[in-house]
Structure 1
């Protein structure tokens, strides 16, 4: 009887250990340039302007078996905006748009993650230009596994939309230029 109890306890401990090993914390690999936060917005309804934030940092928790335990935290230095046009970037940093002198950082903190087929619906609070609003991202696992340096990585891509006026950016760019498409690609290193 004691032997069966010890065996059951050992099996339970092993199973619990393997289940908890599924959840892991990852640091976004910005040093290796394996992460991007990009955006696009219509220019007068005639073309797209693409841009990126070159300086950001963050982390995420990923549990393939329990997405509700997943978390995402990202901090973006808004001064790092780059649309490949110096004068436009200077204007985007001004009080007309990002107001980087008053709000040098934007943050995203997830509030919930749920699995929907092969996608993850990530809802979180985006703080931009001093305003915090909920934002929904549709994310997809691109892959995971060992890297050549002895680490373990997981990579995701995500997309979402934000409305400029929701973040107190009221500069009138025309009706076609009110919505910004976010395009995010991150690779994290398991800690």
Structure 2
């Protein structure tokens, strides 16, 4: 009986190790700038302001046999905000918006991934922005995966989420059409 229990326990451990071994770890390709964190917000309801964060890094793990086990961890340097206008960027970095002197980083850490079975899914996690941590859900689509010309292997995803500014302590009045910001993420990772 002891041998049977030991064999069952060993089998469970080996099975767990095999499923863990299938997960692949990736580093987001920021060196080649093959990843983007961009935003779009209404300006007074008359036009849109577009911009991006140019400095960020992160990792993710993905298992094709078990996509729901995916994990993501991304840190954004909020001082790297770029809307293609220096004075506006200075204002967006100020206490009216991102307060980058007090909060120079934003961070997203996933808590779960729910695949739809068609290369899309919902990535849930905690976003910390301006010192406030809130759960968010990112709509994700798999772009593709395969070998690169340099002997490596890459995997890419895109995602989008709409954030309510007041949820993160940003209440500067730009009119009723400017209460939310749309985020677009394009992430290419290099397998480690």
Offset from partner CA, 1:138-187 (integer Å, 9 cap, x none): 11110101111111100110001100000000111110001110100010
- 1:130 alignment partner in structure 2: 131
Matched position secondary structure for 2:145: strand
- 2:69 alignment partner in structure 1: 69
Which ranges in structure 1 are unaligned for 5 or more consecutive residues? 1-14
Instruction: Provide the C-alpha distance between the structure 2 equivalents of 1:111 and 1:165, rounded to a whole number of angstroms.
Output: 23
- 1:187 alignment partner in structure 2: 188
- 2:9 alignment partner in structure 1: none
Offset from partner CA, 1:21-54 (integer Å, 9 cap, x none): 5310000000001000001000111111101000
Matched position secondary structure for 2:90: helix
Pairwise CA RMSD? 1.6
- In the alignment, is residue 47 of structure 1 matched against residue 41 of structure 2? no
Cα offset, 1:98, TM superposition: 0.3
- Range with bigger deviation, 94-103 or 62-71: 62-71
- 2:7 alignment partner in structure 1: none
Within-5 A mapping of 1:87-102: 87-102=87-102
- 1:165 alignment partner in structure 2: 166
- 1:151 alignment partner in structure 2: 152
Instruction: Provide the C-alpha distance between the structure 2 equivalents of 1:133 and 1:79, rounded to a whole number of angstroms.
Output: 21
Matched position secondary structure for 2:92: helix
How high is the TM-score relative to the length of structure 2? Answer: 0.89
Matched position secondary structure for 1:159: strand
How high is the TM-score relative to the length of structure 1? Answer: 0.89
